[in-house]
Structure 1
Amino acid sequence: MAERLIRIERHATALAAEMPPVRLPEPRPARDAGSWLPDGLIPVDPLAEPPEAGLPGRLDPVLALAEGLLPWRAGGTATAVLCADPMRGAAHLPRLSAVFGGPVRLLPAEPRSLAAALAATAGRALVARAETLPPSRSSCRSLPGSALAGVAALALSLLGGLTLLHPPAVLLGLVALAALALVSGAALKLAAVAATLRRPSPEPASDVRPARLPVISLLVPLYHETGIARTLLRRMEALDYPRDLLDLCLIVEDDDRLTRATLEATALPPWARIVEVPEGTLRTKPRALNYALAFARGSILGLYDAEDVPAPDHLHKVALAFARRGPSTACLQGALDYHNHRRNWVARCFTLEYAGWFRVLLPGIQRLGLAVPLGGTTLFLRREALEAVGGWDAHNVTEDADLGLRLARAGYLTEMIPIATQEEANFRPWPWVRQRSRWLKGYAVTWAVHMRDPVRLWRELGPRRFWGVQVMFLGAILQFALAPLLWSFWLLPLGLPHPLASLLPPAVLVALSILFLATQALDIAYACVGARRAGKPGLAFWSPTLMLYFPLATLAVYKALWELAARPFHWDKTEHGIDAAVTPPPAPSPRRDGAAS
């Protein structure tokens, strides 16, 4: 053992003298351990000979995982640290010596065993951290499923008891609640349309350009995405941004061997790398993002989905927008569009719905000064702001909307940026319901988390934004859940008797019916405006059929409410790349050089 340590120390010291300092966590290709070992030196197998208890925990887990370093034995004249590549390990000898308070000797390790041992030590520490961001009071992990189930059971029991005692009063109360949710939602849409029709205040003339373009880390979570992995790389290669400032993190779960194998069989460019997320207590997109955050190099973090087709100039526009705004602007949100909108009726309505969301409602919400619920893609964040609010909530299945609220509560601004990403519309009814139920469940959980202390929420957001949160989150849940009561008002225009005719004056019934029809007309106009702004005016023809499309959301909200009590943190994943009948737009030609345009 002593002879082995002396020989490897001499070898590593000689390498360190020739090596420049290394900045973490720059990706570098691994080398075969056998190619640098002195003759007769046998690699250590850390699975057969585990490290001393507590020793690996003394080293920063990001450094350990990024550079393949595993503290193994302490005592004697030096601390023994296992490494797979001396080109990495030798450069960190000064830092390792400072951590362990004395000389450090590098020993070779069998690469596969070293990777497994690191996942079990450093990886476990990072996973624990990824699952516990942000603080408990700001996370839905402190809303246990049993408590949610108890609240749901109590509410249903109370409603059932009141219904038995006085059914007409309960029915009238539910109709009034549904009408209030409908009016509130319609008022928000109308205000958003009006706000976006106003000419924005001119920005002061500015020739501000970033003195130096920032490093941008693109985080792309992948899970069972074998069919789209290679296409994703081609689309990312088309981004027109200096390659030395681009950091693509392909985030893969450790049990997703197929996606990992697909990526490993693909020639990754130097600016792209795989970040493997070890097993934990749950598997969600925000947990994976929190884990990958530790490895990202950028001061700006961008999020794309696996099937996204970004335009080449996205990152230059993002860098310029952040340079022209102060540090209080923490987030830039782009629009999402769909390339397969002609696939079928569901795809057309889905595209119409999101044209209204990204082209009308979110820009209007921003101009009205309300808290913006973020989308999960084409999203760019200042790293310092994200870390200031505690990252993503790993347990929330709509982590994007929750993050938007936490940024607003912390005093940060979110702005819409005029860029759009092409994606595949969810065009099959049941997968649509599953996806929408996850979103609605997340909205309910997000509302519950932020309303645990309504006084504090009011103080941090102010009255206008506080009520905006009630309309956007609680109002959406109530409107879909109570929609069948509103549908009954189609009976009056059709000349049919209404169940409430004996309980309400005729004038009130007529007023409710007119209100319902007016909001339907507003929804059609809102969708038409969104379609025109999205460059798809022909879709406006289908906007009247949205009244047949949104009942799917009512089915989704009932599924969401059941899951809220039964499995609140379950992630109902949406499949990507399944529309083989429609070819997505081709990625623009890849860049030939690394210069900024």
Structure 2
Amino acid sequence: MAPSLQSVDFTDLSEAYDPPAVDGAVLPFPESATPPEGAPVDPTSPPGPVFRHVDPVRRPRLGEVLLDMGVIGQPDLTHALILQRQLEARLGDVLLRRGLVSSEDLARAMARQRGLGRAEAAPRGCSRSDAMARRLPPEIAIAFLALPWDRIGGLTRIATARPERLDELRAAVAPYFDACVFVVATDAEIEARLAVVHGDALARAAECRVPAHQSCRHWRTRSAPALFAIVTMLAILAISEWPATALRLAVVAAVGVSITSLALRFAALIAVRLPARRGFASVRPPRVAMRKLPCVTILVPLHREPGIARPLTERLSRLDYPRELLDICLVVEAGDTCTLDALDGATLPPWMRVIPVPDGHPRTKPRAMNYALNFARGDIVGIYDAEDAPAPDQIRTIVERFEAAPATTACLQGQLDFYNPTRNWMARCFTIEYANWFRLMLPGIARMGLVVPLGGTTLFFRRIVLEAVGGWDAHNVTEDADLGVRLARGGWRTEIVPTTTLEEANASPMTWVRQRSRWIKGYMMTWAVHSRDPVRLWRDLGPKRFFGFHLLFLSSVLSAALLPVLWSHAVLIFGIGHPIEAWLPPGGAFLLGGAMAGLSLVSMLLTFAGCAAAHHRHLRPWIPTLMVYFPLATLALLKAAAEVASKPFHWDKTEHGTFGGVEGDGDIETLQAAMAAPPGR
């Protein structure tokens, strides 16, 4: 139960960041005063005033300083102190996130509280000052939000936004600077100066955080075109010299891939529908009482999206999580001036901040997130896309699940859905595909204990694990799927949590092909990178995950490659001969046609089951049209194969905001409520 105003002891609560620091003193006491127990007394001392050692004088608390400065009133401070006690948060964060004080007033108050100076404007364009600041390693500067600021005489002035950790900071900087004095700066001032001093080094480090043997950054772009040309020429030669045999082998391979893919989907359906057992994660995890809510950082990568500030703020403002513990980082490339200018002109809430990413190569989303991870403040790190509209209770759901989950659970993946599913036929098919992926396949393979290829958004990690595995591979265009493999190789588990984020469905064939080609290219490179050393992969994953990894990644690529071959047998219906007949017994063509029809029916039934949610059932009549939708993946594969050879690290970005939003599909809160309903059968 929250404490009432009458029950609050304001003397105890008025501390800001740390227990009251004090300075020892010898104070005069009148002779009639009772000395503290155990205090030394001189029996020969004459009557009159005597001096005794007493408890030291405490330093003023931050709340008292702010009241004395007149920048806050008692009612607002009282409310902030209650929130501080409830959340176990820093008082400064409460005051700033609630808009009760400005960052400048808070910095002046912290300086006054501790008898320190207020940092002046950071030096600009001074190579000598920059070199001095770089003497302090970036990991120390980031940990303490502190940097050498300037020199006065023989003293180095070190600015910090965390003066409550002054003793720790003094010990940390001692090996690098002899004589120091400390001043107080704001968070924004320190972070801006950090970007100037250490930005380039942090950006270079962001490009190669992942161990080399698990990264595709050493992909040989010079030899790739030659290899691609050789494989292409061999395929053309085989088809031209032995066309019938090549087609027969391709049909056999296509049937095999189709059967194994359907088997995996069927196993996922069984795993989802059966009660949790044998160590499988619960589909609907129980809610738990939290002892203490953690700080959660959300990284939102933006690129060429100048109009996103207002809708993004509105959507994330619906999150039901204390603003004092919510750290939203808008991650933008430093060269993306249109987006940065738009954000600079927008009025962002205090719990949002912009992190410009210094230029570098490759200019990809994972590289930007690696850089921003240095500035994250939360113990849990999440990812949203620019157009995402998460469920209001999503952060609380994630936090509670991390609290209840085993320590080996490093990642929680939410479900994705769309707020424009009826835009057109493409949007309907895209929604059906995602419904099956996020509500059937991913939960199923997670419960079976297989490798989970993560989605690019609504992802949440234990920060300590994310940093331990090296963050994201900056050179992989499906960094999410690759990270899922690396987590599995490290022995970490991923769970799919039933909380939904709405985003925009891809509703254009050409845009769909571009997006899918990036995914296929990333899957190809992820499979190739992790298959470099099969023996090591086997040891890391174990037999079940090893075979599951190859089945999942290879079938995703081979299905797109062999789909035209699979359907080539349809000519038999019209009495046209097919080379596969030579390998079939009498009447085998009829049997093959029946088998393929049966496989198609099973696929549609599984897709039907994947659309069990109430808000997906109206899409079920469109399931048969997926036979026209999926062949587009073959075009995407051709584009992906060419890019693997010519430009493997090219990021083909999907444009957002072009296919209609919630205005055409009803209120977003109504959609989210419908998606939270239990699925039917």
What TM-score results when the alignment is normalised by the length of structure 2? Answer: 0.75
Query: Given the alignment, which residue of 320, 329, 354 partners 1:249?
Result: 329
Equivalent residue letter for 2:155: A
Equivalent residue letter for 2:154: T
User: In 1, distance between residues paired with 2:450 and 2:137?
Assistant: 40
User: In 2, distance between residues paired with 1:325 and 1:114?
Assistant: 36
Which residue of structure 2 aligns with residue 193 of structure 1? Answer: 269
Does the Cα contact within 8 Å between 1:251 and 1:292 map onto a contact in 2?
yes
User: In 2, distance between residues paired with 1:112 and 1:358?
Assistant: 38
Local SS of the residue matching 1:214: coil
Shift of 1:566: 0.5
Does the Cα contact within 8 Å between 1:51 and 1:73 map onto a contact in 2?
no
Shift of 1:574: 0.6
Which residue of structure 2 aligns with residue 50 of structure 1? Answer: 127
Q: Deviations over 1:278-306 (max 9, x none)?
A: 11112111111111111111111111111
Equivalent residue letter for 2:460: F
Would the alpha carbon gap of residues 380 and 145 (structure 1) be closer, same or farther in structure 2, given more than 3 Å must change?
Answer: same
Does 1:460 find its partner at 2:531?
no
Local SS of the residue matching 1:51: helix
Would the alpha carbon gap of residues 318 and 70 (structure 1) be closer, same or farther in structure 2, given more than 3 Å must change?
Answer: closer
RMSD, aligned α-carbons: 3.8
Which residue of structure 2 aligns with residue 291 of structure 1? Answer: 371
Would the alpha carbon gap of residues 495 and 137 (structure 1) be closer, same or farther in structure 2, given more than 3 Å must change?
Answer: same
Local SS of the residue matching 2:611: helix
Q: Which has the higher contact order (CA 8 A, sep 6+)?
A: 1
Would the alpha carbon gap of residues 67 and 461 (structure 1) be closer, same or farther in structure 2, given more than 3 Å must change?
Answer: closer
Shift of 1:473: 0.8
Does 1:553 find its partner at 2:630?
no
Does 1:263 find its partner at 2:343?
yes
Which residue of structure 2 aligns with residue 61 of structure 1? Answer: 138
Query: Given the alignment, which residue of 217, 224, 230 partners 1:141?
Result: 217
Query: Given the alignment, which residue of 309, 312, 315 partners 2:392?
Result: 312
User: In 2, distance between residues paired with 1:254 and 1:66?
Assistant: 23
Q: Deviations over 1:78-106 (max 9, x none)?
A: 3366x7xx877998673675253312368
Query: Given the alignment, which residue of 371, 381, 400 partners 1:301?
Result: 381
User: In 1, distance between residues paired with 2:348 and 2:144?
Assistant: 18
Equivalent residue letter for 2:138: P
Shift of 1:512: 3.8
User: In 2, distance between residues paired with 1:337 and 1:365?
Assistant: 19
Runs of at least 5 residues in structure 1 that lack an aligned partner in the other structure: 1-16, 590-597
Report matched runs for 1:203-218 at 5 Å: 208-218=288-298
Shift of 1:308: 0.9
Local SS of the residue matching 1:100: coil
Does the Cα contact within 8 Å between 2:161 and 2:190 map onto a contact in 1?
no
Does the Cα contact within 8 Å between 1:334 and 1:419 map onto a contact in 2?
yes
Does the Cα contact within 8 Å between 2:331 and 2:355 map onto a contact in 1?
yes
Shift of 1:119: 3.7
Equivalent residue letter for 1:50: S
Shift of 1:185: 1.1
Shift of 1:509: 4.0
Which residue of structure 1 aligns with residue 512 of structure 2? Answer: 432
User: In 2, distance between residues paired with 1:205 and 1:531?
Assistant: 21
Which residue of structure 2 aligns with residue 170 of structure 1? Answer: 246
User: In 2, distance between residues paired with 1:56 and 1:509?
Assistant: 77
Query: Given the alignment, which residue of 497, 514, 525 partners 2:577?
Result: 497
Which residue of structure 1 aligns with residue 550 of structure 2? Answer: 470
Which residue of structure 2 aligns with residue 444 of structure 1? Answer: 524
Would the alpha carbon gap of residues 190 and 87 (structure 1) be closer, same or farther in structure 2, given more than 3 Å must change?
Answer: closer
User: In 2, distance between residues paired with 1:458 and 1:509?
Assistant: 40
Does 1:236 find its partner at 2:313?
no
Equivalent residue letter for 1:174: A
Equivalent residue letter for 2:136: L
What TM-score results when the alignment is normalised by the length of structure 1? Answer: 0.85
Does 1:346 find its partner at 2:423?
no
User: In 2, distance between residues paired with 1:205 and 1:371?
Assistant: 20
Highest CA radius of gyration, 1 or 2? 2
Which residue of structure 2 aligns with residue 14 of structure 1? Answer: none
Shift of 1:263: 1.9
Query: Given the alignment, which residue of 72, 83, 101 partners 2:177?
Result: 101
User: In 2, distance between residues paired with 1:303 and 1:58?
Assistant: 33
Local SS of the residue matching 1:46: coil
Equivalent residue letter for 2:227: V
Q: Deviations over 1:553-586 (max 9, x none)?
A: 1100110000000000100001112234752665
Does the Cα contact within 8 Å between 1:346 and 1:429 map onto a contact in 2?
yes
Query: Given the alignment, which residue of 352, 367, 373 partners 2:453?
Result: 373
Which deviates the most, 348-357 or 512-521? 512-521
Shift of 1:257: 1.7
Equivalent residue letter for 1:568: P
Which residue of structure 2 aligns with residue 156 of structure 1? Answer: 232
Does the Cα contact within 8 Å between 1:360 and 1:530 map onto a contact in 2?
yes
Runs of at least 5 residues in structure 2 that lack an aligned partner in the other structure: 1-58, 63-88, 97-101, 112-118, 671-681
Does the Cα contact within 8 Å between 1:333 and 1:379 map onto a contact in 2?
yes
Q: Deviations over 1:325-370 (max 9, x none)?
A: 1111111111111111110000000001111111111111122221
Local SS of the residue matching 1:578: coil
User: In 1, distance between residues paired with 2:455 and 2:305?
Assistant: 20
User: In 2, distance between residues paired with 1:146 and 1:247?
Assistant: 42
